[in-house]
Every structure is written in C-alpha cells, then in structure tokens.
A and B are shown apart, each in its own frame.
Chain A
Amino acid sequence: MIPRIFLIAALLASSAFAGDAPKMKMESVRATPVAADPAAGKKLYQRWCTQCHGDEGKGDGPAAEFVYPRPRDFTLALYKVRSTPSGQLPTDHDLFKVISEGLPGTSMPAWNKYLSENERWQLVHYVKTFDTLGLFKDEAPTQRIAMDSPPQITPVLIARGKELYQSKKCWECHGKEGRGDGNKADTQKDDWGFPIRPVNFTKSWRFRGGDRIEDIFRTFTTGFNGTPMPSFVDAIPAAEDRWALAAFIKSLARPQKTGQVLRAIHRDGDIPADPYAKAWEDAEFVDFPLAGQIILDPRWFKPAHDVITARALYNDKEIAVLVEWDDGTYSRGDGNKPADQVALQLPVTISADEKPYFLLGDKKHAVDYWRWNAKDGLARFAAEGATRMSPRETGALAAQGGYKDGQYRVILRRPLKSGKEDEVPFEPGKFVPIAFHLWDGDQGEEGLKMSISTWYYLLPQPKTPFTIYLWPLGLGFLALGGEFWLIRRVRRKEKPA
C-alpha cells in the first residue's frame, strides 16, 4: 500500500492544478433532488454493497478478492466516471449515474434494475460519508464540464481523429488497432498499486464510462482519477479535436454478435491458410461469450478473456474453423509465464439425446479436444473429465495460427470424415456440438485456470439445393393460372349482357 499521506498530497496537488486550467466551458452543477437520510442509506448499503465495497467502504468486502477490477475503495474519494475536471470530485449526479447504470465490463452492477430512484440517491449520500479526508465537505464540486451536442460523425472527422490518435500517442497504451496492446500497456499501475490494463477500444460494450460518442468525449476530457488514464484537455485543448478523437475511437468498436450456431459455409475451392484472406474476412462470424472456469477445482474467478469469435468454412474434403481473440500480450511461454492457448471441444461420437458434460466430458462420453498453444502449436487429447485427459495422435488435424496487432487468429482444420470411430464425421446439415476454452498466459492462465463456454453447435450448412425454389415458384404460377381462369370466366359472363 502507498502511504496515505502521499496520496493526499497528490490529490490536493492535482485538484489545485485542475483549478487553474479553465480551458473548458463550464456550467453549474445541478441540484441534488433528494435529501440524505443516513439511516436509510446505511441499511441499503449494508444490504447491497458491503460484499464488494466492504463495511467501511474500503473496497475489501468478502467478494473483493474474486473480481477484477477490484471494487472501489471509497475512503480516498477517487472516482473514474465524472463530469468534472481531472483530479476533482464527482457531482452527485455523476455518482447517481454510476450507481444506476453500473460499470460495464466490471462486476459493478446496474442498480436501476433493483433499487428505486430514491434508494439510489440515498446510496449516493451514503457512499460520500466514507470520504475520510472530508473532501466532499470542503471541495464539493460546483462546476462541471459543459458539453456541446456532438458533431455529425463523418469519414473526415474520423480521419482527423485517427491523426490525433497517432500524434497524441494514445497508441502507446491502447495499441495501433486500439486493442489495448501498446508498448506501454504492460507496465501500468493504478494509484492503489494494482496493475491495470488500457482499455481495448474494439470492445466498446465494456467502456465503463459508456460508449456513446458523448461518453467517450467525456472520459478522456475528464480522465479517470486514480488511474494512468489522464485527462487530455491540456494536450488536446480544442473541443472539435476531442470530438474527432471520440468519433475515431467509436469507429473502432465492433459490437458483439452472439448466436447458438456457427455455420460453416461451403466453398468450391481450397480453404485459405491465411487467416486474413478474403474468404475468411467474408465468412460470417459468431461471438461466443466466455466466463471464468469456476466449476472445477482450481477455480478461476478473474479470467482474462470474455469472448471468442469464430468463423467456419468447408469444402468437399475438409472443414476449418478460424478462431480469433484479442490479447494485449503475446505470451509464448518465455520466462516463467505459460503460453497463450485456445482449445476446441467436440464430442467423440454424436448421440441423438445425450451430450458429454460440457466441461471436458465425462466417464461415459468422451470429448475430442484440439488445443493450440502459442509455443508448441497443436496438441490433441481425448478427455473423459478434467482428470482423465490423454494425449492422442493429431492425425489429419492441422492448425496454423499467429498474432498481429493485439489479436490472435488460429485456423484448425480436419478432413470431413476419417471413417474411423474415434472422431465425429462432419456432414452437411448435421449439427455437431462445439465448445471453446481460452487462456491468457500473461495472466498466469494454464490448465483449468481458463475461460470457458458451454455447448454450441457447428453446422456445415448444406449448399442450397435448386429444389427448394420449386414450391414457391409452383404456388406462384398456380395463383397466376387461377387469376386468368377467373378473368376469362367473369369476362365471358359479362359479354352477352
């Protein structure tokens, strides 16, 4: 722990500094609509917040060890999501917004689902009472940053933002493609002394400050207090420039597209070995959300990865799955850290009404386990549960993978059928269960310390046969014929009259 006195000094210094840098348009803070009722606030806090933030607001509740990032220690009054300049306290409305909407990408929930507006205001008041330095009393913010309405997002604006991203060196931490893999990314620490990683801009659903362009603008205008993520008002004083940068960051976002079925599309020619080939870029992708492996011992509560993206292609001979995931660190098992890994799990045989246990199979139902490792490449196992994994010949299974700009892409391919009993045959139209496991070596992930998914399906999608157009065509023509018959009939009847 850092000596408290040092932190206080730093805090005072930074707020004093922010005080004489009025480059931004300011406006007065809105009034707090609900008065404090300390008894009610305490009760709510003890009911809903202590497990993480601790009885005394020190961020040391019983669940604190098991979540990343750690729950906030309120005693130093350092807040990330604010509408006030760097180093200053948040407004009551800022706290209300955070408590109501939560912090995406962390365990801090959105309480508007469970607590009434009045209850959330009581919590705002109560959280402020943990401020041991009395800052909320002495330096309560009266002014906040006024924001104009955002400009129209245009390609020109985004291009301007991209230039600023380069010239203002955001990439040093956030990486060239914004995947949080910059050269300074590995060494960052927050004011509490914990390692902290820059945000991956493609995963905008995890932005704690929110991912609307206004939110992004606000985040790097105000900075996140207590973290290496500074305010950029001094470096980028013109609001237009900050809007351009916000527009660029927003353009990096790739929203998630989840699904139950990974469809492999048929190709007439070869399946490219280059994961950046056009055929792969064009193939439909599905994002599969991942969670920490907290089911078998040893449990892993703070997984590095939360999603894996997959695409699949097949031709008359083979099927290939391309998995891709972002990782800010390229770990090939150097030093004493394990290497990054990915694994695909399939049943060994398919039965109509049963599957193997979703996590590494069970005694009666084995799984076929394909694992690619950044150091050793492909390995294949048969597993009948986590403790019964045995290596097997890779056979005709092949893998190629690589790392570029903060992202892994690995292709695993296999002939459709081997004719042997020990692996599932792939046939167009037949669903094959599939599950994914992922490891980040830099975070010490190996063995059961990993991110997991439950079962999904891989489907070689049949080529669309010509016959399926026959029914609609047939019925269309039938209707046409009917019409002509009717016309002839009514007109013949008309004539004599």
Chain B
Amino acid sequence: MQRWTFHIALCLWLAILAGFKLLIRPPMPASVLTIYMVLVTLGIMIFVAANEARFQAFLAPLKAVFEGRAPKLVQALVLAGIPLLAAWGTWLRTAPSYDAPFEARVVHPQPPLAMQLSGKKLNLAGLQNPLRANAADLDKHTVEGKRIYYQNCFYCHGDALAGDGHFANAFTPIPANFRDVGTISMLQESFVFWRVATGGPGLPKGAAPWLSAMPVWQNFLSEDEIWKAILYIYAGSGSTPRTWEEAPKK
C-alpha cells in the first residue's frame, strides 16, 4: 500500500479538483478555487510528511524519475509534462480576456426622504399603503391590482411573479423576482412605491439608473393604481412587506 502513496495523493488531489469544478453549481470563481486547492495541497502534504516512512514512500517515485531509474517513457512524460503544465497554467492567467467590464450596481439604494409624484411632493418617511386601512375592501383592491399587474407588469416580472416574463431575457439587469426573499419581502411598501412610481430613471447614480428597464409608472398609472398593483405583487407572491416598526434603527 505504502508503495502507492504518491499515486494515491495525486489521484486524491485530482479528484477533489474535479469535484470542485464539476459538482458545485454555480461554478465558483477561479480565485476561490485557487485558495481551496492551495489548502487541499497543504493538507495532503502535511498528512504525507507527518510520518517519515510515508514521506519517503511518497518521494520514491519522484526520486526514481530524477535519478533515471524509472522506465524511460515515464521519465519523458514527467520531465516534459512539468514545464508544459507550468507554461499552460501561466497562459491561463495571462491570456487576454474580453469579458464585459464588471459594473457594480446597488440593487436597493437608500431611498430619498421625499419624491415628486405628478408634480406634487410626497414624503416617503412613514408612508403606508392607504388601501390597507380598510380591511373589508382589501380583496377588491387586490383583484384590481391583479388586473393592473397583468396588463402592465407581467411581460417582465412574469406570470408567477418570478421575474421571468416573456420579455425578461432581453433586459439587463433582469426584472426583479418577487418570490425571492431578497426583493419586495425585505422592503417597506413606501420603498416599493417609490421604485414603482419613479422606475429605473428614478434611481440614484450608484444604482445605475441608465441600465434598468423598469418603467416610470407614474407616467401610466394613478397613485391609487400603483398601490393596488403593490397589494397584488405581495399577495400574488405570497409575501408581506416589511413594516416601519421592523425597520433597522439608524
């Protein structure tokens, strides 16, 4: 068994690399992979070196190659392989790449304190959805909101509110997925109102307002209709808004 220490170590290393590459989805970034593989290499080396006999067994095949005792073919393969691997590894790092430049974009920027709605000023601090006040009419408003959603929003945000409407793939950034816990369920309704009413162009600079296809809905919908649509996107995606009480203190 000890005779094969080197081969086992090599196979183990390759198997772990293959595991990282093939089994983990989405694929991990190259830099992370490098760190993991350095750790794996260290781990294997420490295990091998912990026992003198094992270490010698590990070195034996390497020595055989360098001392010229290994079969000629193995010698040739190893001696030619190492420089080729080194060259190839460097090429992978230095070869020019023409990927699109990475653009950082804040998805949920700090909302303003007040916004313009059809010419009038609306304070966002403490703003509640007025349609929730009367619980008796909530269902009626939600049904109205559903109609508004399917006449205006579902092309992008999708039938099941998952951000995958039939136009969604033409837009970068992609339309928000309302079923995802990272969107409307972690936002206050006032924030959502601001986003819907002012759309992509209403975003601050850090959120790349020039990229978002989200329309400016105050151009098409009344204040009331926007609130109704918001009722529906929560009801339809089975989520609830974050309330003012839950908001993190600053």
B83 and A480 within 8 A (CB): yes
Contact bitstring B186-223, A, C-beta under 8 A = 1, else 0:
00000000000000110001001111010100011000
Query: Contact at A291–B167, with CB atoms within 8 Å?
Result: yes
B146 within 8 A of A: yes
Q: How large is the interface on A (under 10, 10 to 19, 20 to 34, 35 or more residues)?
A: 35 or more
In the complex, A158 Cα to B171 Cα: how many Å? 37
The reply on A66 being an interface residue by CB < 8 A is yes
Q: Would A358 and B210 count as touching, CB distance under 8 A?
A: yes
Q: Is the CB of A301 within 8 A of B155?
A: yes
- Verify B150–A51 contact, CB threshold 8 A: yes
Is A139 positioned at the interface, with any CB of B under 8 Å from its CB? no
Flag if A362 contacts B210 (CB, 8 Å).
yes
A479 at interface, CB cutoff 8 A: yes
A403 at the B interface (CB under 8 A): no
Fill in one digit per residue for B166-192: 1 if any A CB lies within 8 Å of its CB, else 0: 110111100000000000000000000
Q: How far is the CB of B149 from chain A (nearest CB, A)?
A: 8
Please pick, from B98, B160, B166, the residue contacting A263 in the complex, using a CB distance under 8 A.
B98
Tell whether A297 pairs with B219 under 8 Å between CB atoms, given A475-B86, A483-B83.
Answer: yes
Report A-chain residues with C-beta under 8 Å of the C-beta of B94.
468, 471-472
Task: Given A51-B154, A261-B98, A490-B63, verify A479-B146 contact (CB < 8 Å).
Answer: no
In the docked arrangement, what's the CA distance between A67 and B167, Å? 11
Which residues of chain B have C-beta atoms less than 8 A from A468's C-beta?
94-96
Chain A, residue nearest B86 (CB): A479
Docked complex Cα distance between A354 and B162 (Å): 29
Instruction: Assess whether B134 is interfacial by the CB under 8 Å rule.
Output: no
The answer to whether A452 has its CB under 8 Å from any CB of chain B is: yes
**How does the 8 Å CB contact mask read for B72-99 relative to A, with 1 for contact and 0 for none?**
0000000100111111111100111011
Q: How far is the CA of A486 from the CA of B91 in the complex (A)?
A: 25
**Interface assignment of B159: CB less than 8 Å from any CB of chain A:** yes
Shortest distance from the beta carbon of A410 to any chain B beta carbon, whole Å: 20
Note all chain A residues with C-beta closer than 8 A to B91: 471-472
The CA-CA distance from A16 to B51 in the complex, in Å, is 85
Q: How far is the CA of A67 from the CA of B152 in the complex (A)?
A: 12
Contact B160 A355 (CB under 8 A): no
User: Is there an interface contact between A292 and B167, defined as CB atoms closer than 8 Å?
Assistant: yes
Q: In the complex, what's the smallest C-beta–C-beta distance from B37 to chain A, in angstroms?
A: 18
Q: Are B167 and A491 within 8 A (Cβ)?
A: no
Interface range on chain B (Cβ under 8 Å from partner): 35 or more
B-contact bits for A71-84, CB 8 A (1 contact / 0 none)? 00000000000000
- Please state if B79 and A483 are interface contacts (CB–CB under 8 Å): yes
CA distance A61 to B167 in the complex (A): 19
Q: Which residues does chain B contribute within 8 Å of A456, judged by CB atoms?
A: 100
User: Counting chain B CB atoms within 10 Å of each CB, which of A454, A464, A474 scores highest?
Assistant: A454
Contact with B along A292-303 (1 / 0, CB 8 A): 101111010100
B166: chain A residues at CB < 8 Å are 67, 106-107, 109
Chain B hits for A299, CB < 8 A = 220
Contacts of A358 in B (CB 8 A): 210-211, 213
Is A365 among interface residues, defined by CB-CB distance under 8 A? yes
| Chain A nearest Cβ from B100, distance in angstroms | 4
Give the residue of B68, B96, B210 whose beta carbon is less than 8 angstroms from that of A356: B210
CB distance from A342 to the nearest CB of B (A): 16
Inter-subunit contact A113/B171 (CB<8 Å)? no
CB distance from A158 to the nearest CB of B (A): 30
> Would you call A6 an interface residue if the criterion is a C-beta within 8 Å of the partner chain's C-beta atoms?
no
Q: Answer yes or no: A134 CB below 8 A from chain B CBs.
A: no
Residue in chain B with minimal CB distance to A474: B90
B213 touches A454 (CB 8 A): yes
What residues of chain A lie closer than 8 Å to B89, measured between beta carbons?
475
Taking the complex as formed, is A478 at the interface, i.e. its CB lies under 8 A from any CB of chain B? yes
**CB-CB < 8 A to A39: which residues of B?**
none
| 0/1 interface trace, chain A 486-497, chain B, CB 8 Å (1 if under) | 110011001000
Asked whether any CB of chain A lies closer than 8 Å to the CB of B66, the reply is: yes
Task: Output the least CB separation between A352 and chain B (Å).
Answer: 10
B170 touches A290 (CB 8 A): yes
Complex: how many Å from CA A468 to CA B97? 12
Bound together, the chains give a CA A332 to CA B156 distance in angstroms of: 32
Specify which chain A residues have a CB less than 8 angstroms from the CB of B90 in the assembled complex.
471-472, 474-476
Q: Which residues between 444 and 495 of chain A lie within 8 Å of chain B, taking CB atoms?
A: 452-457, 459, 461-462, 464, 468, 471-480, 483, 486-487, 490-491, 494
| Complex CA distance for A478 and B209, rounded to whole angstroms | 50
Q: In this assembly, does B119 line the interface, its C-beta being within 8 Å of a C-beta of chain A?
A: no
Let me know if A150 is at the binding interface, CB within 8 A.
no
A154 adjacent to chain B (CB < 8 Å): no
Cβ A455 vs Cβ B96 within 8 A: no
Mark out the residues of chain A between 100 and 136 whose CB falls within 8 Å of any chain B CB in the assembled complex.
Answer: 106-107, 109, 113-114
A62 in contact with B147 (CB, 8 Å): yes
Q: Decide: B100 and A260 in contact? CB cutoff 8 A.
A: yes
8 Å CB contacts to A: which residues of B130-176? 146-147, 150-151, 154-156, 158-160, 162, 164, 166-167, 169-172
Contact of A355 with B96 in the complex, beta carbons under 8 Å: no
Q: Indicate whether A291 sits within 8 Å of B171 (C-beta atoms), given known contacts A48-B159, A263-B98, A473-B87.
A: yes
Closest A residue by C-beta to B215: A295
B79 in contact with A452 (CB, 8 Å): no
B residues engaging A (CB < 8 A)? 63, 66-68, 79, 82-91, 94-96, 98-101, 146-147, 150-151, 154-156, 158-160, 162, 164, 166-167, 169-172, 200-201, 205, 208-211, 213, 215, 219-220
The 3 closest A-B pairs by CB, nearest first: A476-B87, A291-B167, A291-B170
23 residue pairs from A and B, CB less than 8 Å apart: A51-B146, A51-B159, A62-B150, A107-B166, A109-B160, A261-B98, A263-B98, A289-B170, A291-B156, A292-B155, A292-B167, A294-B215, A296-B215, A353-B205, A354-B210, A355-B208, A357-B200, A357-B209, A431-B100, A468-B96, A471-B91, A479-B82, A486-B66
